[in-house]
Each structure stands twice: as structure tokens, then as C-alpha cells.
Amino acid sequence: MSHQATIIKVYVLADGILGVRVRCCGDESTESVLSLHELHRADEEIDEDIQAHLARVEKLHAARDHAKAHIERLMGK
């Protein structure tokens, strides 16, 4: 299964700090928040931070699914 994380909400955490909530595959249990600081940076730099976080959430979700399937196979032995 290909995992796809998306931004579901952005909000102000404090003056100069934004929270970017992401979710993978529509699964609420995968939600994670990235705190964005230094908002005066170029759009491309902010994009890099967000893309790195999305990739991390996708990787964690894939790893969880893999480990769960492995454990379920062990249970069936």
C-alpha cells in the first residue's frame, strides 16, 4: 500500500509559530503536528520542512502496518 500524508489543518501556536497537522491515509491515529518556526524564510524552505514531516509520517505509518502484519502472522503460527 502506498502511504499518502496530507495537511489537514494549520493554526497559530504562538506569535511566530504555526502548527501544521498532518494525517496519513485518512487514519486519525497517524496525526502529527509540525511546529513551524522562522516564518520569515523563503516559501521553498518552509515547503522542505513540511515535505520532510509528511515523509516521516508516511514512513511511520508504513512501518506500523508492516509490524502489525508481521505480528499477526506470528499469531497464526
> At 7, is the pLDDT very low, low, confident or very high (cuts 50, 70, 90)?
very high
| DSSP summary character for residue 10 | E
Q: What is the pLDDT of residue 47?
A: 98
pTM for the full predicted model: 0.91
Q: What is the pLDDT of residue 76?
A: 84
Instruction: Decide if pLDDT at 29 tops 90.
Output: yes
Please report which helix (H) or strand (E) contains residue 1, including its range.
Answer: none
Secondary structure E strands in the chain = 5-14, 17-24, 27-36
Instruction: Decide if pLDDT at 33 tops 80.
Output: yes
Q: What is the pLDDT of residue 1?
A: 66
